[in-house]
A and B are shown apart, each in its own frame.
Chain A
Amino acid sequence: MLIWIIFAAMTGAAVLAVLWPLGRRAPALFADAAGATALYRAQVAEIDRDLGRKLIGAAEAEAAKAEAARRLLRTTAEESEPAGESEPSLRRRRAASAIALSCVPLLALLIYGAYGSPTIPDQPLAARMKANPAQDFEMALARIEAHLAANPTDGKGWSVLAPVYLRQGRFDDAAKAFANAIRYDGATADRQAGQAEAQVLAAGGVVTAAARESLAAALALEPANPRARFFMAIAQEQDGLVPAAIAALKALLADAPAGAPWAGPVRSRLERLEGKPSTAETIASLPEADRTTAIRGMVDSLAARLAEGGGSLAEWSRLIRSQAVLGEREAALKSLATARERLGTDPSAVAALDGLRNELGLQEAAR
Chain B
Amino acid sequence: MFVEIGHFALALALGVAVVQTIVPLWGVARNDPALAAVGPAAAIACFLLVALAFGCLTMSYALSDFSVENVAANSHSTQPLIYKLTAVWGNHEGSMLLWSLILVLFGALVALSRRSLPVKLRAGTLAAQGSISVAFLSFTLLTSNPFRRLVPAPGEGQDLNPILQDLGLAIHPPLLYVGYVGFSITYAFAVAALIEGKIDAVWARAVRPWTLLAWTFLTLGIAMGSYWAYYELGWGGWWFWDPVENASLMPWLAGTALIHSTVVMEKRDALKVWTILLAILTFSLSLLGTFIVRSGVLTSVHSFASDPQRGLFILGILIAFIGGSLALFAWRAPLLKQGGLFAPVSRESALVINNLFLATACATVFIGTLYPLVLEMLTGDKISVGPPFFNATFVPLLVPLLLLLPIGQTLAWKRGDLLGAAQRAQVAFGLGVITTLAIFAFVRGGPVLAPLGIGLGVFLVAGAFWEVGERVVGRAGSASAAWSRAKGLPRSAWGTALGHAGVGLSVIGIAAVAWGTEAIGMLRVGESLTSGRYTATLEAVTPRIGPNYREEAARFRIVANGAELKPVEAMKRVYTARAMPTTEAGIRTDGLGQVYVSLGEPDGSGAIAVRLHDKPLILLIWIGALVMAVGGALSLTDRRFRLAAPRRAAASAALPQAAE
CB distance from B268 to the nearest CB of A (A): 9
Q: Are A108 and B156 in contact (CB under 8 A)?
A: no
A172 close to B (CB within 8 Å) = no
1/0 per residue, CB under 8 A from B, across A1-21: the answer is 011001100110010011011
Least CB distance from B110 to A in Å reads 15
Query: Provided the pairs A39-B205, A75-B200 are in contact, do residues A21 and B152 lie with their beta carbons within 8 angstroms?
Result: no
Q: What 1/0 mask marks residues of chain A from 30 to 57 whose CB sits below 8 Å from any chain B CB?
A: 1110011011011101101100110110
B263 to chain A, nearest CB (A): 13
Q: Could you tell me if A107 and B11 are in contact, using CB atoms closer than 8 angstroms? A: yes
Check if B64 sits within 8 Å of A124, measured CB to CB.
Answer: yes
Are B642 and A42 closer than 8 Å at their CB atoms? Answer: yes
Nearest to A95 among chain B residues (CB) is: B26
Whether the Cβ atoms of B35 and A108 lie closer than 8 Å is no
Q: Which residues of B contact A139 (CB under 8 A)?
A: 155
> With A39-B202, A124-B65 given, is the CB distance from A24 to B31 under 8 Å?
no
Q: A3-B1, A96-B26 are in contact. Are A83 and B31 (CB under 8 A)?
A: yes
- 1/0 per residue, CB under 8 A from A, across B5-17: the answer is 1011101101110
Query: In angstroms, how far is the closest chain B Cβ from the Cβ of A158?
Result: 17
Are B412 and A31 in contact (CB-based, < 8 A)? no
CB under 8 Å from chain A, chain B span 30-74? 30-38, 40-42, 44-45, 49, 60, 63-67
With A71-B200, A83-B33, A122-B1 as known contacts, state yes or no: A108 contacts B26, CB within 8 Å.
no
A206 CA to B458 CA in the complex, in Å? 71
A106 at the interface (CB under 8 A from B): yes
Q: Is the CB of A71 within 8 A of B118?
A: no
Could you tell me the distance between the alpha carbons of A11 and B152 in the complex, rounded to whole angstroms? 30
Which B residues touch A56, using CB under 8 A?
412-414
Stretch at the interface among B503-511, B560-568, B649-657: B649-657
Contact A112 B205 (CB under 8 A): no
A11 in complex: contacting residue of B12, B40, B198, CB < 8 Å: B12
By a CB distance below 8 angstroms, the chain A residues around B412 are 55-56
Main secondary structure of the interface of B (DSSP, over half): helix
**Stretch from A141-149, A221-229, A289-297, A313-321 forming part of the interface with B:** A141-149
Query: Does A136 have its Cβ within 8 Å of any Cβ on chain B?
Result: yes
Residue B164 at the chain A interface, CB threshold 8 Å: no
Q: Which of A14, A43, A363 contacts B45 (CB 8 A)?
A: A14
Query: B45 — nearest CB in chain A belongs to which residue?
Result: A17
Asked if B332 CB lies within 8 Å of chain A CBs, one says: no
Query: Once bound together, how far apart are the Cα atoms of A171 and B60, in whole Å?
Result: 31
Return the CB mask of B121-143 against A: 1 if under 8 Å, else 0: 10000000000000000000110
In the complex, whether A137 has a CB less than 8 A from a CB of chain B is: yes
Q: Mark B574-618, 1 if CB is under 8 A from A, else 0.
A: 001000000000000000000000000000000000000000000
Bound CA span A140–B340, Å = 76
Are A39 and B642 touching (Cβ within 8 A)?
Answer: yes
Is B529 an interface residue, CB under 8 A from the partner? no
In this assembly, does B442 line the interface, its C-beta being within 8 Å of a C-beta of chain A?
A: no
Contact of A96 among B2, B33, B38, B119 (CB under 8 A): B38
A:107-155 near B, CB below 8 Å: 107-109, 111-112, 115-118, 120-126, 128, 136-143, 145-146, 149
Bound-complex Cα distance A109 to B49 (A):
15
A45–B647 Cα gap in the complex (Å)? 11
Smallest Cβ-Cβ distance to B485: which chain A residue: A53
- The CA-CA distance from A81 to B33 in the complex, in Å, is 12
| Cβ A146 vs Cβ B156 within 8 A | yes
Per-residue CB proximity of B623-650 to A under 8 Å, as 1/0? 0000000000000000011100100110
The residues of A that contact B9 with a CB separation of less than 8 Å are 10
Q: Tell whether A358 pairs with B152 under 8 Å between CB atoms, given A30-B36, A39-B642.
A: yes
Complex interface: chain B residues within 8 A of A80 (CB) = 31
User: Are B26 and A30 in touch, CB under 8 angstroms?
Assistant: no
Report chain A residues within 8 Å CB of B471: 53
Known: A14-B16, A26-B37, A142-B155. A39 touches B30 (CB 8 A): no
Partner of A89, one of B22, B32, B65, B67: B32
Whether, in the assembled complex, B381 has its beta carbon less than 8 Å from a beta carbon of chain A, the answer is: no
Do the beta carbons of B67 and A122 come within 8 Å of each other? yes
Decide if A311 is an interface residue (CB 8 Å cutoff): no
- How far is the CB of B525 from the nearest CB of chain A, in Å? 27
Report how far A41 CA is from B147 CA in the complex, Å.
53
B118 touches A32 (CB 8 A): yes
User: Please, how many angstroms separate the alpha-carbon atoms of A103 and B13 in the complex?
Assistant: 11
Q: Is B302 an interface residue (CB 8 A)?
A: no
Q: Does B19 contact A (CB under 8 A)?
A: yes
- Determine whether the beta carbon of A116 is less than 8 Å from that of B8: yes
Any A CB within 8 A of the CB of B77 = yes
A266 interface residue (CB < 8 Å to B):
no
| B34 CB, nearest partner CB in chain A, Å | 4
| A71 contacts B269, C-beta separation under 8 Å | yes
Given contacts A21-B38, A118-B4, A142 and B156 within 8 Å (CB-CB): yes
The CA of A78 and the CA of B1, in the complex, are separated in Å by 54
Inter-chain CA distance A18–B47, complex, in Å, is: 13
Cβ of B2: which chain A residues have Cβ within 8 Å of it? 122
Assembly CA distance A24 to B148 (angstroms): 40
| Bound-complex Cα distance A64 to B36 (A) | 35
Q: Which residues of A contact B121 (CB under 8 A)?
A: 32
Query: B residues within 8 A CB of A361?
Result: 151-152
0 or 1 for each of A325-367: is its CB under 8 Å from B? (1 = yes) = 0000000000000000000000000000000001101010000
Q: Does B23 contact A (CB under 8 A)?
A: yes
**Per-residue CB proximity of A95-106 to B under 8 Å, as 1/0?**
010011001111
Q: Are A53 and B7 in contact (CB under 8 A)?
A: no
Contact (Cβ within 8 A) B652 A42: no
Which residues from A are CB-within-8-Å of B414? Answer: 56, 60, 64
* Interface residue B104 (Cβ < 8 Å from any Cβ of A): no
> Is B655 a contact partner of A52 (Cβ separation < 8 A)?
yes
In the complex, what residue of chain B is closest to A110 when comparing beta carbons? B11
Name the residue of chain B whose CB is nearest to the CB of A34: B118
Query: Which of B18, B32, B145, B652: most chain A Cβ within 10 A?
Result: B32
B260 interface contact, C-beta 8 A: no
| Across-interface contacts of A20 in B (CB, < 8 A) | 41
Taking the complex as formed, is B149 at the interface, i.e. its CB lies under 8 A from any CB of chain A?
yes
Q: Which residues of A contact B208 (CB under 8 A)?
A: none
Q: How far is the CA of A93 from the CA of B64 in the complex (A)?
A: 46
A263 in the interface (beta carbon within 8 A): no
Pairwise interchain contact A83-B37, C-beta atoms closer than 8 A: no
Give the chain B neighbours of A53 by CB distance below 8 A: 471, 652, 655-656
CB distance A26 to B202 under 8 Å?
no
Nearest residue (CB) in B for A85 is B34
Bound-complex Cα distance A92 to B3 (A): 38
Instruction: Report whether A108 and B200 are in contact in the complex, using a CB–CB cutoff of 8 Å.
Output: no
A28 close to chain B: CB less than 8 A = yes
Does A49 contact B23, Cβ atoms closer than 8 Å?
no
Interface flag for B170 (CB, 8 Å): no
Known: A21-B37, A56-B412, A361-B152. A125 touches B45 (CB 8 A): no
The smallest beta-carbon distance between B56 and chain A, in angstroms, is 9
12 contacts between A and B (CB under 8 A): A21-B34, A36-B200, A42-B640, A42-B642, A42-B645, A43-B201, A53-B471, A96-B38, A100-B38, A117-B149, A120-B4, A128-B155
Q: Across chains A and B, which 4 residue pairs bring their CB atoms closest together, nearest first?
A: A142-B155, A42-B641, A124-B63, A104-B15
- Partner-B contacts on A (CB < 8 A): 2-3, 6-7, 10-11, 14, 17-18, 20-22, 24, 26-32, 35-36, 38-39, 41-43, 45-46, 48-49, 52-53, 55-56, 60, 64, 67, 71, 75, 78, 80-83, 89, 92-93, 96, 99-100, 103-109, 111-112, 115-118, 120-126, 128, 136-143, 145-146, 149, 358-359, 361, 363
Residues of B with Cβ closer than 8 Å to A? Answer: 1-5, 7-9, 11-12, 14-16, 18-19, 22-23, 26, 30-38, 40-42, 44-45, 49, 60, 63-67, 77, 118-121, 141-142, 145, 147-149, 151-156, 198, 200-202, 205, 269, 340, 412-415, 471, 576, 640-642, 645, 648-649, 652-653, 655-656
9 extra interchain contacts, Cβ-Cβ under 8 A, other than A17-B16, A103-B18, A111-B142? A29-B31, A35-B118, A42-B641, A48-B652, A83-B33, A108-B11, A111-B14, A125-B65, A141-B155
